[in-house]
Amino acid sequence: MTNSKLTRLLAFFILILAANATAQEINITSYVDKTKVGVNDNFQLTVEVSGENISRVSDVQLPDLEGFRVVGTSSSRSSSHSISGGRMTSTVTRSNIYTLRPERSGYFLIPPISVQSRGETYATEPIRIEVVEGSTEPPPPVSEQFRQPDPEGERLEDNIFIVAEVPKTKVFRGEPLVVRYKIYSRYDLSNLSFVSEPNFEGFWKDDIFFADRMNFRRETYQGRMFNAMLLREIALYPSRSGTLTIPPFSIRADIILRRRSFWDFDSTRRVNINSKPIDIEVMSLPTADVPDSFTGAVGRFNVDATISETDVKVGDPITITLNISGSGNFQHFDPPQLADLPFLRILSPEIKVESSVSNNSVTGTKTISYPVIITQEGSLEIPAVHFSAFDTQREEFYTVASQPFVLEAEAVGQPTLFAGRRSQQDVVIEGQDIFYIRRQANLKSFKPVINNWTFNLLWLLTIATLPIAFIYGKEREKMIKDTAHLRQKLARKILRKYLKLATIGAKNGDMAFYVNAANGLSNYLTDTLKIPRGSTNEEIFENMRSSGYPVEYLERTRKIINKCLEARFKPGGFDKNRINEDYQELTAVISALSNYKNGKQRG
């Protein structure tokens, strides 16, 4: 049961495959190598049959050909394999090539050629052949590999030369002229170098191509085979009218001389080759009917304008871009001017030119970007830009215009905050002026302080401190030099200090009175007598006597000092009731002593 089912399934697939195979296309084509032949020329007719399985296709049977005779046949077979969609297909092509020779001149028709396959007929298209008298083919070259001529024997300029190719010799002023310098040589060359730059007087020049390495190709020139190479291609724009000369182009070449025998070496010979100068007649542009917008453009141009934004804010910069495309002298005309409009400030435009040479003409695009600033709000119209050029074919001026724009300019309110960074531009200086006046002024008059007498007095006052300091310093020096003198000067002060303490002691009626009285008197006397402190009482009295103090005071002093010593050191010598009495005596003695200085009575 399963088995029979499987066989049935298999049989189904085989059927599909078979159906596929039968559905395979058969192609038959026929072609000739030329449709115009001379009576004496042979030509070939090829009939190709291709398909996946062409073994069952019948052989090609040439029908009766009127006016031709079959002079030879050959056939070939080729096959190609390709895998697509997981299935391999192999195509077999069978070609039958018949060499035919016309019998007479005239127009003849090769009728359709047909083949049979599984009962189907496939046929080719008929081919029309023109047979002319004579031969259409050039005489066959002597040899494909031409013989190296002998530079010594033959004329050099016949075998190596430079040709300046110009498409025409009569141009309008400003019209681009493409010049191609080609070198033709029948020698082997080893080294090419440009001698000097020709002086293209009267032309603007654009370099297009400059050969930087040897790149020779086989080429026939005036019926002879040469090695040819493009040396240089330039576009010239005549800048004045009249007869201008394309100067000769010079090149230095080394010709390789092949060795003639086994024992020879290759050698080179250096030659200079020049192209012939070519005279070009340059016609000036007509002076009549020159449009206002003509700026020197020559050629065929189209103009197209775009604007970066149509909804703008006042003060924002926008860009108007003018695209001039076509063929002509792109580099050599001024960009058209945008109309001067009160609401528009036009900044200097940015110009970009892209050009190339094809078919002996300069084609390209000139892009002019005008940055403009809108200075007014409202609905504004920027009119079309007119661009004029001279058409060299029709020899007349023509004007093309871009489309106008309508702008909606909005007044600037609050500054808009932009997310992210905007592209930055340099701030353009649009005008220069002086600074504005000051609205605030300090109207006090400037008076130099040097004219002020108080200021000058300050200087004098400062300087006046110098003599004061000088005198004071001198005084002070004296004091420092004589410490005893100083002590003497200060003695009364110190005595006064002790007397103060003694007075307090007297009021309180305690021992402090005697202590201070003794110390004060002792210090005062030693200082005034200029003897060391801590001298004994006897020494003090001795000095007092020799200094000439009156004996009366000397005795009183001795008495009071002794009283003090008694009160301090003798048991029972201190009597509270006597303090007041002793104080009276002390002040009397001191006031008496203070009337003397160095033993002499003060004046």
Partner 1 sequence: MRTFSPYRHKKRNTSVILLALIIISGLMMFNNHLLASQINKESKFSEAVSHYDARNYDEALKAFLSLVDAGIESYEVHYNIGNTYFRLNQIGKAIVYYKRGLRLKPNDYQLQTNLDFAINQTQDRQETAEPNPLLEIIFNTLNSISLNGWFLLSFISFLPVIAMINIMLIYYRKRDKTVPVFLLVLFLLIFIITISATTYRWQRYIDSSTAVLIASASNGYSGPDSTYTRLFTINEGIVLKVVNKNEDWSQVGLPNGMIGWIKTDDFLLVNPPSS
In the list 4, 272, 287, 445, the residue contacting partner 1 (rule: CB under 8 A) is: 445
Q: Please name which of 16, 24, 72, 70 lies closest in space to residue 51, comparing C-alpha atoms.
A: 24
The distance of closest approach from Cβ of residue 471 to partner 1 in the complex, given in angstroms and rounded to an integer, is: 9
Q: Tell me the sheet residues that pair with 380.
A: 407
Q: Tell me the sheet residues that pair with 128.
A: 109
CA pair distance 322, 327, nearest whole angstrom: 16
In the list 82, 143, 272, 454, the residue contacting partner 1 (rule: CB under 8 A) is: 454
In the list 141, 242, 473, 548, the residue contacting partner 1 (rule: CB under 8 A) is: 473
The distance of closest approach from Cβ of residue 451 to partner 1 in the complex, given in angstroms and rounded to an integer, is: 10
Strands 344-346 and 361-374 come out as: antiparallel
In the list 195, 469, 484, 588, the residue contacting partner 1 (rule: CB under 8 A) is: 469
CA pair distance 136, 102, nearest whole angstrom: 13
* Closer Cβ to partner 1, 6 or 469, answer by number: 469
* Closer Cβ to partner 1, 421 or 438, answer by number: 438
* Closer Cβ to partner 1, 13 or 446, answer by number: 446
Query: Between residue 488 and residue 527, which ones bind partner 1 under the rule CB under 8 A?
Result: 490
* Closer Cβ to partner 1, 126 or 473, answer by number: 473
In the list 83, 142, 429, 441, the residue contacting partner 1 (rule: CB under 8 A) is: 441
* Closer Cβ to partner 1, 168 or 493, answer by number: 493
**Number of Cβ within a 10 Å radius of residue 97:** 15
Regarding 477 and contact with partner 1 (CB under 8 A), the answer is yes
Regarding 460 and contact with partner 1 (CB under 8 A), the answer is no
5, 31, 351 from 366: Cα distances, Å: 77, 48, 7
The distance of closest approach from Cβ of residue 533 to partner 1 in the complex, given in angstroms and rounded to an integer, is: 14
The distance of closest approach from Cβ of residue 478 to partner 1 in the complex, given in angstroms and rounded to an integer, is: 10
How is residue 275 annotated by DSSP?
Answer: B
CA pair distance 495, 457, nearest whole angstrom: 45
CA pair distance 48, 25, nearest whole angstrom: 14
The residues, any chain, with a CB within 8 Å of residue 505's CB and separated by 6 or more, are: 511, 512, 513, 514, 515, 516, 517, 579
The distance of closest approach from Cβ of residue 464 to partner 1 in the complex, given in angstroms and rounded to an integer, is: 10
In the list 12, 209, 210, 455, the residue contacting partner 1 (rule: CB under 8 A) is: 455
The answer to whether residues 366 and 332 touch, using CB atoms and an 8 Å cutoff, is: no
CA pair distance 349, 368, nearest whole angstrom: 6
- The torsion angles phi and psi of 556, rounded to 5 degrees, stand at -65, -40
In the list 87, 155, 422, 444, the residue contacting partner 1 (rule: CB under 8 A) is: 444
CA pair distance 501, 520, nearest whole angstrom: 9
The distance of closest approach from Cβ of residue 479 to partner 1 in the complex, given in angstroms and rounded to an integer, is: 9
By three-state DSSP, how is residue 268 classified?
Answer: strand
CA pair distance 496, 75, nearest whole angstrom: 160
CA pair distance 330, 354, nearest whole angstrom: 8
The distance of closest approach from Cβ of residue 500 to partner 1 in the complex, given in angstroms and rounded to an integer, is: 18
As to burial, measured by CB atoms within 10 angstroms (0-12 exposed, 13-18 middle, 19+ buried), residue 546 is exposed
Regarding 429 and contact with partner 1 (CB under 8 A), the answer is no
Q: Given the structure tokens 């004045």, which residue do they identify? A: 240
Q: Taking contact as CB under 8 A, which single stretch among the options 172-180, 467-475, 520-528, 535-543 is the one that binds partner 1?
A: 467-475
* Closer Cβ to partner 1, 71 or 469, answer by number: 469
Q: Given the structure tokens 């300019």, which residue do they identify? A: 409
In the list 443, 534, 538, 572, the residue contacting partner 1 (rule: CB under 8 A) is: 443
Regarding 210 and contact with partner 1 (CB under 8 A), the answer is no
- The torsion angles phi and psi of 385, rounded to 5 degrees, stand at -95, 125
* Closer Cβ to partner 1, 119 or 467, answer by number: 467
* Closer Cβ to partner 1, 23 or 461, answer by number: 461
Regarding 458 and contact with partner 1 (CB under 8 A), the answer is yes
The answer to whether residues 98 and 62 touch, using CB atoms and an 8 Å cutoff, is: yes
The distance of closest approach from Cβ of residue 523 to partner 1 in the complex, given in angstroms and rounded to an integer, is: 13
Regarding 569 and contact with partner 1 (CB under 8 A), the answer is no
Strands (E), 290-442: 294-307, 311-313, 317-328, 344-346, 350-358, 361-374, 378-382, 386-391, 396-401, 405-410
The answer to whether residues 506 and 498 touch, using CB atoms and an 8 Å cutoff, is: no
Q: Taking contact as CB under 8 A, which single stretch among the options 146-154, 192-200, 233-241, 427-435 is the one that binds partner 1?
A: 427-435
The distance of closest approach from Cβ of residue 488 to partner 1 in the complex, given in angstroms and rounded to an integer, is: 14
The distance of closest approach from Cβ of residue 517 to partner 1 in the complex, given in angstroms and rounded to an integer, is: 22
Q: Taking contact as CB under 8 A, which single stretch among the options 330-338, 438-446, 530-538, 547-555 is the one that binds partner 1?
A: 438-446
Half-sphere exposure of 95 (CA within 13 A, CB side): 14
CA pair distance 565, 77, nearest whole angstrom: 165
Q: Taking contact as CB under 8 A, which single stretch among the options 231-239, 400-408, 443-451, 533-541 is the one that binds partner 1?
A: 443-451
The distance of closest approach from Cβ of residue 441 to partner 1 in the complex, given in angstroms and rounded to an integer, is: 4
Query: Between residue 315 and residue 374, which ones bind partner 1 under the rule CB under 8 A?
Result: none
Q: Site size for partner 1, by CB under 8 A? A: 36
The distance of closest approach from Cβ of residue 437 to partner 1 in the complex, given in angstroms and rounded to an integer, is: 4
The distance of closest approach from Cβ of residue 436 to partner 1 in the complex, given in angstroms and rounded to an integer, is: 8
Q: Please name which of 215, 222, 246 lies closest in space to residue 158, comparing C-alpha atoms.
A: 222
The distance of closest approach from Cβ of residue 530 to partner 1 in the complex, given in angstroms and rounded to an integer, is: 17
Q: In this structure, what token pair is assigned to residue 219?
A: 């080429």
Regarding 440 and contact with partner 1 (CB under 8 A), the answer is yes
Regarding 484 and contact with partner 1 (CB under 8 A), the answer is no
Binding site for partner 1 (CB under 8 A): 432-446, 448-450, 452, 454-455, 458-459, 461-463, 465-466, 469-470, 472-474, 476-477, 490
